[in-house]
């Protein structure tokens, strides 16, 4: 029998090894990494779907707001916060819900609670100053004036006009509580060292009201009414100041000045009232003269 050549033997051996290697590869179990990767992809898809489902109330809330259905918008925001109280968009949802309760539904207690929670959870949020101011406004609406003042005092706006605006709000709250001394102090902070403007006009009107109506301090009210009459660009404010001047002059028994002031009012719709008031002042002048004459006898 012919002996196999050395080369042929080597080739057959290599072929056997190759077949063995192929078989070995076929018997190797699949890598565990593949099902893990599939699981991760499935989990990511599921998470994304759940995230979209969780945010659907927010989409519906915005749609309801845009259509003017504020009750439904509030319900959708409430649903989102119930499902995801610590969610990624919970702070914004809470702030918007508070705004709906305050501005649209006038449910002040719910608005107060939501603004307070927002401030507690987001001390450095960009909307924190606005939320604090609105909390103060809500407290004022609820008649909790001193709590409202405390919230306003926690605001520290850098802009001078904003500071004056906050002081005007604080002054009005003191006025509402009939704390006129503190109200006057706050109104002075609004008007001091600034040109006459809309905010100072509001402060002057309140000051005049305190001196004239609440305290019958006519002498203190006179210069304020003069300022309003001469500097206001609002015809109604000027007219109110003129009548205030006449009343204060009358309160000081300066009847001629009071009558002169009334007769300087030229607006046609006011003329019947002016005539009536002048007649009343003429009568008061005569009565005062008679009283003085009687005392001199």
For 26, the token pair is 């076929």
**pLDDT tens sequence across 47-78:** 444 456 678 999 999 999 999 999 999 999 99
46's CB contacts (< 8 A; 6+ apart) are: none
Q: What is the pTM of this model?
A: 0.78
User: In order of start, what are the domains of the chain with their CATH numbers?
Assistant: 52-136 (1.25.40.10)
Instruction: Let me know: does 241 contact 225? Beta carbons within 8 Å.
Output: yes
Would you call 260 exposed, middle or buried from its count of C-beta atoms within 10 A (0-12, 13-18, 19+)? middle
Instruction: Let me know: does 139 contact 151? Beta carbons within 8 Å.
Output: yes
**pLDDT tens sequence across 175-215:** 999 999 999 999 999 999 999 999 999 999 999 999 999 99
Model confidence at 237: pLDDT above 50: yes
For 249, the token pair is 């002059």
- Nearest Cα to 174, choosing from 184, 188, 189? 184
What integer is the mean pLDDT of 152-169? 95
What 3 state SS string does 17-48 have? Answer: HHHHHHHHHHHCCCCCHHHHHHHHHHHHHHHH
Least confident piece of the model among 13-17, 58-62, 167-171, 255-259 = 13-17
Calculate the average pLDDT of the chain.
Answer: 87
């Amino acid at each position: 029998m012919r002996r196999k050549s050395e080369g042929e033997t080597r080739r057959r051996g290599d072929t056997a090894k190759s077949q063995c290697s192929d078989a070995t590869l076929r018997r190797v179990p699949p890598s565990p990494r593949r099902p893990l990767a599939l699981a991760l992809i499935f989990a990511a898809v599921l998470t994304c779907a759940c995230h979209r489902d969780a945010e659907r109330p927010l989409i519906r809330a915005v749609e309801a707001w845009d259509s003017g259905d504020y009750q439904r918008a509030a319900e959708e925001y409430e649903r989102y916060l119930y499902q995801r109280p610590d969610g990624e968009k919970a702070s914004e949802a809470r702030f918007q819900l508070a705004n709906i309760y305050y501005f649209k539904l006038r449910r002040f207690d719910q608005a107060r609670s939501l603004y307070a929670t927002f401030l507690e959870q987001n001390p450095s949020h960009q909307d924190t100053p606005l939320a604090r101011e609105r909390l103060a406004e809500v407290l004022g609406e609820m008649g909790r004036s001193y709590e409202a003042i405390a919230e306003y005092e926690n605001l520290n706006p850098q802009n001078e006009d904003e500071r004056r605006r906050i002081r005007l709000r604080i002054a009005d709250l003191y006025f509402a509580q009939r704390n006129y001394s503190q109200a006057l102090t706050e109104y002075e902070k609004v008007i001091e060292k600034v040109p006459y403007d809309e905010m100072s006009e509001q402060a002057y009107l309140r000051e005049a009201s305190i001196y004239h109506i609440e305290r019958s301090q006519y002498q203190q009210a006179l210069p304020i009414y003069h300022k309003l009459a001469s500097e206001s660009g609002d015809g109604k404010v000027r007219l109110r100041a003129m009548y205030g001047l006449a009343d204060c002059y009358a309160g000081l028994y300066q009847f001629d000045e009071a009558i002169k002031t009334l007769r300087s009012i030229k607006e046609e719709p006011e003329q019947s009232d002016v005539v009536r008031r002048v007649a009343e002042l003429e009568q008061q002048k005569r009565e005062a003269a008679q009283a003085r004459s009687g005392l001199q006898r």
